[in-house]
Amino acid sequence: MRIGQNPAKFVNKVSKPAEITVSVLNYIPYQQGFYAEALDVLKACLNSIRSESKQSFDLMVFDNGSCEAVQDFLLQEFRNHNIQFLILSEKNLGKGGAWNIIFDAAPGEFIAYADSDVYFHKDWLDESLKIMKAFPNVGMVTARPFFTKKEFSTNTINWAKSQPNVLFETGKLIPWDTFLEFDLSLGQELSAIESEYQTNDIEKVTLNGVSAIIGGSHWQFLTRKNIIKEFLPFDMERPMGQVKLLDKRMNELGFMRLMTPEPYADNMSNTLKVNSIEKTQNKKNSKNKFIFSLLDFPMVKKILLTIHHRIFMFYYDR
């Protein structure tokens, strides 16, 4: 026999979930070898999600059977209110199996999905939402431009070409440095990257002042819950193969797949070292380019050459 009344009966107000759920899928089975820095990569991912967005959102993490130390870290983050929804799986369900749970459980109208090795930059979510809301029937928006297979974007390209109020452009519309940085992070050889860049063009669409690169990818994307649920369930028997079909199936059903024109997300892979070196080098290169362009400005150039001439005459024409 029950004793007393359940206190929950007297609760007259409950919290509502945010309109946006940011969902991260994580898998770190051990902390040696390939996964030696994976926990640091995960921490960088979660920190960038929280610090680089002005939007209000709930953070959901699905851990796909990681080791005890990693799950202890996630539990502490949950207790510290840095994670709003935490799902710990005893076993690895594969990416498709994890997606079945994530996309069904995420309460937001919008779901921003990311693998745990994604690093976000300022306003990544705002810029993704801008594209999602500006174009019709958008299935996914990835927060970084790169080359994707055109056969997975035929419906988007055909739509763009058929709309009189849409500006459709094609060419080398992703800067080489941006293209190179992402492909290097995937472990590709420089010669292969150069060949791909030279032999392929990028498509870009602009509608009512909002631009997007055509394409998208399952490693990181923003979608609507009512759209992504159309693709459930994913095959749980194959770890990776079925989730790659999401790009293909979205195109077949007529959903647009788009990317931000600027890079708002990086692929860290399994280490922070390479990315920090590349970013430092990029900053140095940008600084050098600025200095050289300033020195080449006509007025500055004239003044410096005059000073140089007078110094030369002072020392050697006596």
The domain spans of the chain are: 20-273
Q: Could you tell me which residues come within 8 angstroms of residue 59 by beta carbon, excluding any fewer than 6 positions away?
A: 21, 22, 24, 46, 49, 50, 82, 83, 84, 85
Residue 139 near residue 103, CB atoms below 8 Å: no
**Residue 44 pLDDT greater than 70, yes or no:** yes
Per-residue pLDDT band at 312 (split at 50, 70, 90): very low
| Candidates 1.10.357.10, 3.40.640.10, 3.40.50.1950, 3.90.550.10; CATH matching 20-273 | 3.90.550.10
* Confidence (pLDDT) at 53: 79
**Residue 257 pLDDT greater than 90, yes or no:** yes
Two tokens at 234?
């994913």
**Angle 97-100-101 (CA atoms, 0-180°, nearest 5)?**
100
Exposure class string for 10-43: b at 16+ Cβ within 10 A, else e: eeeeeeeebebbbbbbbbbeeeeeebebbbebbe
Residue 58: how many other CB atoms lie within 10 Å:
18
Q: Which pTM value belongs to this model?
A: 0.81
Crossing angle of helices 273-295 and 298-316, rounded to 10°: 80
Two tokens at 110?
């919008």
Written as one letter, the residue type at 104 is D
Beta partners for 210? 207
Q: Could you tell me which residues come within 8 angstroms of residue 94 by beta carbon, excluding any fewer than 6 positions away?
A: 64, 236, 237, 238, 239, 240
Report the SS3 class of residue 208.
coil
> Pairing relation of β-strands 58-63 and 85-88?
parallel
Average pLDDT for residues 200-224, to the nearest whole number?
96
Average pLDDT for residues 37-66, to the nearest whole number?
94
Per-residue pLDDT band at 237 (split at 50, 70, 90): low
**Residue 302 pLDDT greater than 70, yes or no:** no
**Residue 177 pLDDT greater than 80, yes or no:** yes
Q: How far apart are CA 223 and CA 147, in angstroms?
A: 20
* Confidence (pLDDT) at 236: 64
* Confidence (pLDDT) at 240: 56
* Confidence (pLDDT) at 296: 59
Average pLDDT for residues 129-142, to the nearest whole number?
97
